Chain A
Amino acid sequence: MASLASEPRSRPFITRLGWAVSDSWTVVRRHLTHIRYMPDKLLDVTIQPIMFVVLFAYVFGSAIKVPGGNYRSFLMPGIYAQNMMFASMPIMAALVQDMQRGVIDRFRSLPMSRAAVLVGHAGASFIESMLGLVIMLLCGLFIGWRPELGVGSTLGGIGLLMLFAFAMTSVGTFLGLIVKSVEAAQSFGFIVMFPLTFIANTFVPTAGMPVWLRTVANWNPVSAVVQAVRTLFGNLPPGSHGGPTWTLAHPVLSTLIFACLLIAVFMPLAVWRFRRMLLE
């Protein structure tokens, strides 16, 4: 029998590429349709961050002094960066759910492009995060935050946030493929993401922290991202240029390196994990 098996016609590269693009778009549109039917899905990237802004800008912020600076200008870049950190969450939740419900298996049994399964999920998640970023920027403008350094630098700051969101999306893609339950995905948010975003210069200057914690915070890559965003938006309080660590002294460069490193590690890992599903 084996010898009788048919040989397929090979399809031109351009056809396959076209399908990869249109299949990815189909998967993206699926997620966007979810948002249309269930707008509460967007709470994570809208109401929740806005509550953070209110909480920090008006509650905690009333007692936090930034030497020589304005707390709200100091705060908003931290909020932006924190939100981009959480870009890893929606894709993780979506993938875990789709794996559990057999949706990924259905996709894999269809003649759709393999790449589109992950690209579509990641694309939708990225779009969701960008929507969150726009809302946050508007929210920042509303409470008096302003980028101070002109159009080029401002766009650079936004671009850096987008790159970082993309990097975190690829982290979330990999984690979504290995985590077994939605609960585990959520606890990842609390156990890993919260300390990472809080033990940093995100909401308060690190200068007041105990020495050991300050060391951790200063080396925390999230601090570099926040510092980079403050630098590009011109929101650094006077005298806080540079920093005790190399990462804080070269925040934009170290953020670029950090983001590229995450992408270079987690994207291939996600693809590897996706392919391994064939074996287990």
Chain B
Amino acid sequence: MVQHSSGVRPVIYAEGLVKRFGQVTALSGVSLAADPGTVLGLLGPNGAGKTTAVRILTTLLIPDAGHAEVAGFDVVRHPQEVRERIGLAGQQASVDEYLTGRDNLVMVGRLYHLPSRQARSRADELLARFGLEDAAGRLVKTYSGGMRRRLDLAASLVAAPPVLLLDEPTTGLDPRSRTDMWTVIEGLVRDGTTLLLTTQYLEEADRLADHIAVVDHGRVVAAGSPDTLKKSIGGERIDVAVPDPKDMAVVRAAIARAVGREPDLDLELNRLTVPVEAGVRDLTAVVRELDQAGIVVEDIGLRRPTLDEVFMTLTGHEGPGSGQTEEVS
């Protein structure tokens, strides 16, 4: 499963991680690798084992079996060395509500053993960078969800660690704060940080990650670049939007004649979708058949599969980000 370019030593590396909690197997043999300066996305639904993997890589948890290295050090044998080189921002913004934003960052700086003056100047630098200077002297209790997450992320950056692990950094954020967060994360990667990011959002993985490992039921069910993953489930898709449900049967037959395969129906959108091998040639054939059948469709298009479809194909259930409700756990 793990793909790494020849010769480069992965900054985050895991092989065969197994972790059980009583009867529950959280991880059953997870292998991962992230090359220096890249973003590895762990994509999976709630309970897939993403957080457990992050907890092992950040030395919070010892695996039952398997081996992991971060920044060149074994996470079980040399946790202290690993901790000096990582930053972690967890699922919940683990900042202290009864301290000010600045207090939080200074405290973390001191715990990374920065001299006091340096801890203070680093705190101010990060507060400015994350747009929190106006709120720096306020208790975190008064911060919005987005501000807390930014502060939490800032806290993980205090020691300018070469490796950053972000566990669902945008879960529960409104769309605006989410986009802000993405911009911040992209900036970090530009500066050369190696990043592991877990997410339930396909869109997020698609936008941020160089490599994606799709995790389900404690295993990596697929890994590769977003493009490779999309290609791996084959070709392109033709979508046909049918305005009048009465025409559905006729359109369906026309598509089947044109490409030799039955399309899937999306009832909610009144849309038929069919995977095709020959791209534009197939599209032309569909248009011709529809024309002959005398049907006017609302929209017709050729596109690459979405990560949602990749996820569906790989795991047999719907993509984690496609549900209406957002779970914040």
Contact = CB atoms under 8 A, between A and B. Distances in A.
Nearest to B10: A1
Interface residues of B, number: 44
Interface stretch (A19-27, A61-69, A151-159): A19-27
Interface string B75-109: 00110110110101011111111111001000110
Given A109-B83, A110-B108, A279-B62, A101 B94 contact: yes
B70 to A, nearest CB: 10
Contact of A109 (B13, B59, B69, B103): B59
Most B C-beta atoms less than 10 A away, residue of A19, A33, A108, A110? A110
A30 B96 contact: yes
A44 to B, nearest CB: 15
A33 B62 contact: no
A246 B155 CA distance: 55
A22 B110 contact: yes
A279 B80 CA distance: 17
A37 B137 CA distance: 11
Given A5-B73, A278-B62, A109 B96 contact: no
B139 A37 contact: yes
A138 interface: no
B99 A33 contact: yes
Contact of A6 (B15, B72, B99, B111): B72
B113 interface: yes
Contacts of A30: 96, 99, 103, 107
Interface string B269-299: 0000000000000000000000000000000
Contacts of B83: 109-111
B99 A109 contact: no
A34 B108 CA distance: 16
Interface in A10-31: 19, 22-23, 26, 29-30
Given A102-B92, A106-B94, A5 B108 contact: no
Interface of A: 1-2, 4-8, 19, 22-23, 26, 29-30, 33-34, 37-38, 101-103, 105-112, 277-280
Given A26-B107, A33-B99, 7 more contacts: A7-B78, A30-B99, A34-B98, A37-B98, A103-B95, A105-B55, A106-B90
